[in-house]
Amino acid sequence: MSGKQSWMQEMIREIQNETRNVSLMEVCGTHTMAIARSGIRDLLPDNIKLISGPGCPVCVTAQGDIDAVIELASQRGIVLATFGDMIRVPGTISSLQEARGKGAQVRVVYSPLDALAMARDNPTQEVVFLGIGFETTAPTVAASIEAARNMHLNNFSVFSLHKMVPPALEIIFSDPDIKVDALICPGHVSLVIGLEPYRKLAQSYRKPCVITGFDDADLLQGILMILLQLRQGQNQARIQYQRAVQEKGNPVAQDILNRVFQAVDARWRGLGTIAGSGLQIKDEFSQYDAWRKFKLQNKDDLAIKGCSCGQILSGKLSPHDCPLFGRSCTPLNPIGPCMVSQEGACAAYYRYIPLKGAIK
């Protein structure tokens, strides 16, 4: 047995010694997929529960905002550039994939810089990049907006639906209907924002927060770090993922976010409107703001009949609790966004946790 395997076995034994009922929430879609893939739930005693939270940016996008995106993409003369996992996300009556089938110009890109190049190379087309993501992807979008201004491009804009994670975590901790003892905090987002936002949460709500990496050893160590804090009556924010995350985060990324975006209230699927959780393009870059450029209006959130994505994202249900899961809702026929996105809890459960299996 290798040194790493022995160390992991020791961590598993220590975790399995926990006797209290503990609920831990991971708030990163990559964590959700890694936990399901690794089978970590099967290693934990029944009294330790892992809950998937609002860690998938595609999934937490409000239904009304998805409908607004589809409506914009259907307008004549618009080229909508988007990441691939948005194509099949269902709106209330359609999707971007269906809109494309009816003639809408929807293009899959791998970076907002691809959309920027598309606008530069096609000056007669109006290119709109769909900005969905957390603090991880928003700096690159901000850089593309600054680049568009430097290039004097008039045919490029961003439909910003970016969100910030810490305000959503405050809602999670403050909601009496969501029973969470501690947070497994996102590694990728924390590369940008650092430790301080979690430190404030831990102090305010007296619950541990641990920034954790993505392999099996990272996740087990992060869980153990939380359990040790709970046993000792501590409520601190700590970094397990020290090989990547700095306490102060990435000042360069933070600076460009602050130059281009400002915090606004934003709608989250399952959590409602959260104050200061959205990123709106600042007035000095308003010509690159698709909301203002095309005079778009907010659309009402209309529930998808039978879909439990909102309750799953808020940790009130697991994917197996949804009556549609694995029956009428599958990756090939998704009814809710949690089954579509590669970071969605339902997609992770469908792939790695059989419907008949026990949920811990």
Tokens of residue 181, six digits: 């003892």
Cβ atoms of 135 and 249 within 8 Å: the answer is: no
Return the domain boundaries, the chain.
Answer: 23-351
Reply yes or no on whether the pLDDT at 184 is more than 70.
Answer: yes
Q: Name the pLDDT band for 2 (thresholds 50, 70, 90).
A: confident
Instruction: Please tell me the predicted confidence (pLDDT) of residue 359.
Output: 37
Model confidence pLDDT, tens digit, residues 319-352: 999 999 999 999 989 999 999 988 999 999 999 9
Model confidence pLDDT, tens digit, residues 245-276: 999 999 999 999 999 999 999 999 999 999 99
Residue 220's closest CA among 68, 47, 17, 14?
14
* DSSP helix/strand/coil, 332: coil
Mean pLDDT of 226-249: 97
Reply yes or no on whether the pLDDT at 5 is more than 90.
Answer: no
Instruction: Please tell me the predicted confidence (pLDDT) of residue 356.
Output: 62
Domain spanning 23-351 has what CATH number? 3.40.50.11740
CB neighbours of residue 67 within 10 Å: 19
Residue 335's closest CA among 317, 357, 310?
310
* DSSP helix/strand/coil, 359: coil
Cβ atoms of 24 and 180 within 8 Å: the answer is: yes
Residues whose CB is less than 8 angstroms from the CB of residue 154 and which lie 6 or more positions away in sequence, other chains included: 287
Q: DSSP secondary structure string, 236-287?
A: -EEES-TTT--TT--HHHHHHHHHHEEEEEEEETTTEEEEEEEEEE-GGGGG
Instruction: Please tell me the predicted confidence (pLDDT) of residue 358.
Output: 33
* DSSP helix/strand/coil, 112: helix
Reply yes or no on whether the pLDDT at 8 is more than 90.
Answer: no
**Averaged confidence pLDDT in the chain:** 94
> What is the rounded CA–CA span in Å between residue 133 and residue 202?
24
**Bridge-based pairing state of the strands 48-52 and 126-131:** unpaired
- The sign of the CA dihedral 255, 261, 267, 269 is negative
Instruction: Please tell me the predicted confidence (pLDDT) of residue 1.
Output: 61
Q: DSSP secondary structure string, 137-195?
A: THHHHHHHHHHHHHTT-SSEEEEE--B-HHHHHHHHHH-TTS--SEEEE-HHHHHHH-S
Residues whose CB is less than 8 angstroms from the CB of residue 356 and which lie 6 or more positions away in sequence, other chains included: none
Mean pLDDT of 199-221: 97
| CB neighbour class for 186 (10 Å; exposed up to 12, middle 13-18, buried from 19) | buried
* 6 or 121, which is more confident: 121
Mean pLDDT of 148-160: 97
Mean pLDDT of 194-207: 97
Instruction: Please tell me the predicted confidence (pLDDT) of residue 167.
Output: 97
The fraction of the chain above a pLDDT of 90, given in percent, is: 91
Reply yes or no on whether the pLDDT at 102 is more than 90.
Answer: yes
Q: Name the pLDDT band for 3 (thresholds 50, 70, 90).
A: confident
* 314 or 356, which is more confident: 314
Mean pLDDT of 8-33: 94
For residue 230, which phi and psi values (nearest 5 degrees)?
Answer: -65, -40
Reply yes or no on whether the pLDDT at 357 is more than 60.
Answer: no
Length of the chain: 360
Instruction: Please tell me the predicted confidence (pLDDT) of residue 133.
Output: 95
Q: Name the pLDDT band for 360 (thresholds 50, 70, 90).
A: very low
CA-angle at 189, arms to 145 and 54, nearest 5°: 105
Cβ atoms of 198 and 167 within 8 Å: the answer is: no
The residue whose two tokens read 């996008």 is: 61
- 107 membership: H or E segment, kind and range: strand 105-108
Tokens of residue 167, six digits: 């305000």
